[in-house]
Amino acid sequence: MTRKGPFEQPLVKFDNRVAVVTGSCGNIGVAICKMLAEYGVRVVATDLSEEVLAERFSRPTGTLSGIHTCRMDVTDPESVRAAFGKILEKFGKGANQCLR
């Protein structure tokens, strides 16, 4: 299925893709997560605070239902390894895209 984007370019669905969005609790991060989910991307929203992630993405309806959360500190290699281990376990594969 294709849709027209804001610049009238055809946009395709990205079904079966996994994207990790870091710093996703800010307004821009939430918007990126929602946009990717609308196009069929399985989104993993990451940030430093599990509480804020739960607050921002806990509504399991509409666009937010396709967004998963995971605490990750990008400055800590062990935190990144643990997060990507959880992503691999949940989806059976690693991320196709990483966005900040």
Domain regions of the chain by residue span: 12-99
Q: Report the chain's C-alpha Rg in angstroms.
A: 13
Task: Specify the pTM.
Answer: 0.80
Per-residue pLDDT at 66: 76
At the top level of CATH, which class does the domain 12-99 belong to?
Answer: alpha beta
By the 8 A CB rule, do 77 and 54 touch? no
- With tokens 């376990």, the residue in question is 89
How far out from the chain centre does Cα 97 lie?
A: 9
The token pair at 83 is: 């997060």
CB count within 10 Å of CB 70 equals: 20
Q: Which tens digits make up the pLDDT trace of 24-68?
A: 999 999 999 988 888 888 999 999 999 999 888 876 566 667 799
